[in-house]
């Protein structure tokens, strides 16, 4: 019986590790910057400013992950607040035409967000 419990424990451990490894990684700051640079046709000055905003966001997200928040709902709300602030700061950098394009990019992003209606299934 003890051997069976150990075997089941090992199997569950392997399953947990493989599921964690299968989770898609969020895009890096560099990937996000490239996406915004290309999609919005940012100027050199805008690229520098957006890069600073993205770096600040990464720092906040890193601190949130490090400190952790007990329940998943609070964690998701805190993450949403961080990314909403990021979007607002980016919008301040953009021209009116770029803001319109950025709004469309955000709509598209929401469609593909895990758990969004019609989007990817929620991550477990």
Domain boundaries, given as residue ranges, for the chain: 26-111
Q: How confident is the model at residue 39 (pLDDT cuts 50, 70, 90)?
A: very high
Which one is predicted more confidently, 56 or 12? 56
Backbone angles phi, psi at 68, to 5 degrees: 70, 155
The four Cα atoms 29, 87, 114, 63 give a dihedral, to 10 degrees, of 60
pLDDT of 117 > 60? The answer is: no
Residue whose entry in the numeric block shows the structure tokens 């051997």: 3
What is the arithmetic mean of pLDDT over 103-111? Answer: 88
The pLDDT score that the predictor gives to residue 113 is 67
Residue range 41-59: mean pLDDT, rounded: 96
* Segments in the chain forming alpha helices (H): 2-22, 29-40, 44-67, 72-93, 96-111
Mean pLDDT of 37-62: 96
């Amino acid at each position: 019986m003890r051997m069976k419990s150990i075997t089941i424990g090992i199997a569950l451990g392997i399953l947990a590790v493989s599921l964690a490894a299968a989770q898609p990684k969020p895009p890096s700051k560099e990937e996000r910057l490239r996406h915004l640079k290309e999609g919005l046709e940012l100027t050199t000055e805008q690229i520098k400013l957006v890069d600073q905003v993205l770096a600040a966001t990464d720092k906040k997200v890193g601190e949130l992950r490090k400190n952790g928040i007990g329940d998943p709902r609070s964690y998701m709300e805190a993450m949403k607040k961080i990314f909403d602030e990021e979007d607002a700061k980016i919008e301040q950098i953009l021209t009116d035409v770029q803001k319109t394009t950025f709004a469309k990019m955000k709509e598209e992003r929401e469609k593909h967000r895990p758990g969004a209606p019609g989007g990817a299934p929620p991550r477990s």
